[in-house]
Each structure stands twice: as C-alpha cells, then as structure tokens.
Amino acid sequence: MPRTGTGPDFIESLARGLEVIAAFRPGQESMSLSDVATATGLARPTARRILLTLAELGYVRADAARYTLTPRVLELGTAYVGSQGLWQVARPHLQELSARTNESCSVAQLDGSDIVYVARVAVPKIVGLSVQIGTRFPALQTSLGKVLLAELPAAELEDVLAEPSRSGLTPLWQPSKKERDAELRQVRARGWAMTDQQLALGIRSAAAPVHDGDRVVAAVNVNTHAAETTVEQLTEHHLPLLLRTAGEIGADFARLRSLPQVVR
C-alpha cells in the first residue's frame, strides 16, 4: 500500500511515485496498468498519471499496454553510492582482495532488516544467487549483515529485525532469539562473521566491519561457493586478507571524510 506521512511537509504524490518504481521487482519486470495499480494499492487513474509522468522523465518505458523501468532508474541508486564515497574508496581494495582470493568481494550497508550492496567486484563463477549493486538480502543470514547487526544496541536491534525484509528471499536459517543473540555475541567478540549456507545452499562467506573512526559504516566480505572453498580455507587464508582490507577501506574512508568539502 502507498506510504502515508504524518507531518504537514509530507508530499504524498512523491511517495506514490516511489511506490510505483518499487513495484517493479524480479518476476515483474514488465507490468500493465492494472498490475501496477494492484501492486501499489493505487486507483487506476492515479497509477496511470504516475506512469505517464515517469515515462516523460525517462524512468519508465511504455510498450503497448505494458510498462518497464529504464536504466535511468539506476541513477537514483548510484547517486547514493556516489554521495557516500564508499565505492570510490573501496574499489581498488576490493579488486586486490578479489585477485588474491579469486572470489567475489562486496561492501554492504544496513537498510532496515536487510543489507544492500553498495560496492562489488565479481569473478566469473556460478553461484546460487545473483548479486549486484543495489541487491538486498535479509541481514541476519548473511555475514555482512551479522557484522552490522552486531554493532547495534539491543533495543535498536529488536526494532530493526522487527521490520519485514524487502528482499523477496526466504533464507534457510530461521534461528530462535536465543540462537540469534548467541551468534551476534560471537561476532561481536571476535570482530568478524561467517555464514555457511544460512542464506541459501552453496553460499559461504566471511565479513568484517568497515570503521569510520568509532563508527561502523559498512561491512566487506569474501563470498565463496561451499563446494569449492572449505571453512578452513575461508578462515585461514581469506579471512586475514579480508580483515586487512576492511582496515584499509576504513582508513581511506575516514581520510576522505576528513577532507574539507568544496562548496560550489
């Protein structure tokens, strides 16, 4: 259903437009007017006006009675990534880590109960899940998410995990609160996290936090296929490289943030 705000400054039409964009998901790449109206809960005339506006702005393409998003929508996500500076800072470090492990490496941040990938260097391997910048997964079942969740105060953690995931994926691991808390305590104590086929079959990864001073601003991981990389290889060979990379990204990011900003 469309989001509604409580304050006088809330722009409902903008919220509705974003709801329409978000309605296009995997398996729903092409939608009719009726599809969009049903998915968003909007009246057909309202959905039609929003689609026509998005088409005029270049975010939606109309083909007969079907609508699809255009690549211009990527600008909305890359604007965030670019404004944070994480991609520019992380890229050379991810490239080196990927070259030394021969594995895909990523940086992600927390968004509600999900992680969202904001930087990635991939190697051509067959894996069970497709990942790109902007992909989201339930945080608790990923090594990246465990690192980020472990940093949250207890009350905030409960609020975050109470939010429904928007990833559309049902993970394999469904822990009790006791199991969850024990896992996050372990992550907090050792300073890194691992997931072993808890998100999906074949996915095994390790992650470490990226610090900006005293704050954890992101997490970085090495992702492997369980059939190719043992837990011992992941923790004994890849993990030391990963921990060093996380420290280097954090140091570079902190230096970037400390530079005076040019006002234009």
Lowest mean pLDDT among 10-19, 79-88, 141-150, 158-167: 79-88
Question: Looking at residue 264, what is its pLDDT?
Answer: 45
In whole numbers, what is the pLDDT of the chain averaged over residues?
Answer: 88
Lowest mean pLDDT among 36-50, 89-103, 115-129, 184-198: 115-129
pLDDT of 2 > 80? The answer is: no
- How do residues 136-152 score in pLDDT, each as one tens digit? 999 999 999 999 999 99
| C-alpha span between 57 and 32 (Å, rounded) | 19
Residues in the chain: 264
| C-alpha span between 242 and 14 (Å, rounded) | 41
Provide mean pLDDT across the span 184-199.
96
Which residues in 33-165 belong to E strands, given as ranges?
Answer: 60-63, 66-69, 104-111, 114-121, 136-138
Alpha carbons within 13 angstroms on the beta-carbon side of residue 105 total 29
Any residues with CB less than 8 A from the CB of 201 and at least 6 apart, and which? 128, 172, 226
pLDDT band at 263 (very low <50, low <70, confident <90, very high): very low
pLDDT band at 5 (very low <50, low <70, confident <90, very high): low
| C-alpha span between 140 and 142 (Å, rounded) | 6
pLDDT of 248 > 60? The answer is: yes
Question: Looking at residue 81, what is its pLDDT?
Answer: 52
pLDDT of 84 > 80? The answer is: no
